[in-house]
Structure 1
């Protein structure tokens, strides 16, 4: 009786191997895979028109249900400034020894509101737009950047009211007002970077948005919005690390730069040392670091 030798069947490829081979044969790639950093920047730049249009649409719709409409873009920070003036300027007498206290206060409130609103909206940029993230393929960094751009546009609307307040209180127009442009560019870069960091955190932990108002309120009190950091550090014997922390606190740096640019009674000696280097450093650390931190989790957004 002859024996028939059977050749053992070849090892079957795994399902994953089959799918990978099939995808490679037809030039397919993993959906939502993270591109390289240069490619990610290129994709983001290619969608710059979407970023601008999205931020403008969000700004337009923000007060669409209110009867006063876009007037609230200016009224909200002005009302906040009025409350802070009553509490800090009058009751706590923070206006003492601070020349042009109302322009000083309003400038601080407007510039702080820019940072605060950018960070708050950035925290919910991914978690609050899951439908858009899951439906369309685009660089997710476009969302926190567009929200920061929305707040910049709102600040520019508010600046018209700020200019009127400055002129009404006798602050003259000066060439130093041109410093507003580089100061706002640096602050926008910082805001966008922090927004991207918190957008990634908020995508995994949505509850962070409930904690942020308390953290931001504490940060505001440390940033010299309603009081003069320079006067405080001169009149009180504070430890040197505390003085450095207060003066180089990022929002305080940008607020002081704007006050120096706009208010003639706010002099250079009231600025922290190397203020432009500090403002540029914070913008680069937050902007570049936040962008890379956000990019590293690109393929996880919208999943789960």
Structure 2
């Protein structure tokens, strides 16, 4: 009678398997190393096969996000509105930017909502692996599902907030027009860009948890240099050409300008808002500047960021959840 301590007899393969190496045997019977990184096309196929899981995970997390708060899902709209109120007080009233920017309240709210979409997606992506190690170690699925799902959560929150944003725009006397249709492709491109950055930061965050503590400071700096609360149009013309070009290619500026133009194209009309001062010496609103090739910029950022982010994340697929 054998016991657990008896050695296992691993005899050589017989019959048609005789003489085959372990690798040949594995190939013959479709065996592979557990946790091995799949090829890039296979990885894409696996992600597509898990699309229902990604959608369900995102929806469940969105619903559960504010379950402990008394106001619940209202915070999805209330948070950006409170940010808008604070920024309007500081930059609109105290610093008088409302006098130089056409439709300043609508312009400000659009910028805050759109920038917060990128900001939240990047922050959530940074923690998407490190905060879900239990799920990663318990189940087998493409790890890119997590940063993608968290980006979808932020998109869902933005779409809910857009209802309030539309009301704000209408209250400011802006009439809906054909340019409003441009909001859809602009948000698609921004979502691709956000997903790419979320994938990059997810891999970095999985290795260095301290990066999640640093990200709020980096993103806040990005917000201030992107002109979310104030218009750079009034002084960018005085900058050297290199810095003008560099600023115009800032992805946050690109996507904010696209959505702002889609909502209120008249704010970019120099004949309506020539700037200058009135008879009393008060500053007059000056038309905003929209780069000539802004759609090329937006598409380039979206495609490049998504491609680099996806490949960069996939390269470390077998490492997530280990250690």
Q: Identify the residue that residue 65 of structure 2 maps to in structure 1.
A: 62
Shift of 1:229: 2.4
Q: Identify the residue that residue 292 of structure 1 maps to in structure 2.
A: 311
Please tell me the root mean square deviation across aligned C-alpha atoms, in Å: 1.8
Q: Identify the residue that residue 31 of structure 1 maps to in structure 2.
A: 34
For residues 25 and 169 of structure 1, the distance between their equivalents in structure 2, rounded to whole angstroms, comes to 69
For residues 18 and 124 of structure 1, the distance between their equivalents in structure 2, rounded to whole angstroms, comes to 43
Q: Identify the residue that residue 15 of structure 2 maps to in structure 1.
A: none
Q: Identify the residue that residue 135 of structure 1 maps to in structure 2.
A: 138
Cα pair 1:141 1:294 within 8 Å, conserved: yes
Q: For 1:161-208, what per-residue CA distance to the aligned partner results, in whole angstroms no more than 9, with x for missing partners?
A: 001111111011111100000000000000000000000001111110
| Higher alpha-carbon deviation: 104-113 or 168-177 | 168-177
Q: Identify the residue that residue 7 of structure 1 maps to in structure 2.
A: none
Shift of 1:265: 2.9
The aligned runs of 1:78-227 (5 Å cut-off) are 78-227=81-230
Match of 2:74 among 71, 78, 98: 71
For residues 108 and 225 of structure 1, the distance between their equivalents in structure 2, rounded to whole angstroms, comes to 5
Shift of 1:278: 0.2
Cα pair 1:100 1:169 within 8 Å, conserved: yes
For residues 42 and 128 of structure 1, the distance between their equivalents in structure 2, rounded to whole angstroms, comes to 25
Shift of 1:216: 0.1
Match of 1:278 among 274, 280, 297: 297
Q: Structure 2: any 5+ residue segments left out of the alignment?
A: 1-19, 270-287
1:116 match: secondary structure: helix
What is the count of residue pairs matched by the alignment?
287
For residues 19 and 303 of structure 1, the distance between their equivalents in structure 2, rounded to whole angstroms, comes to 26
Q: For 1:230-257, what per-residue CA distance to the aligned partner results, in whole angstroms no more than 9, with x for missing partners?
A: 22313xx222222222211001100000
1:212 match: secondary structure: helix
Q: Identify the residue that residue 252 of structure 2 maps to in structure 1.
A: 251
Q: For 1:252-293, what per-residue CA distance to the aligned partner results, in whole angstroms no more than 9, with x for missing partners?
A: 100000000001432277112300000000001100111011
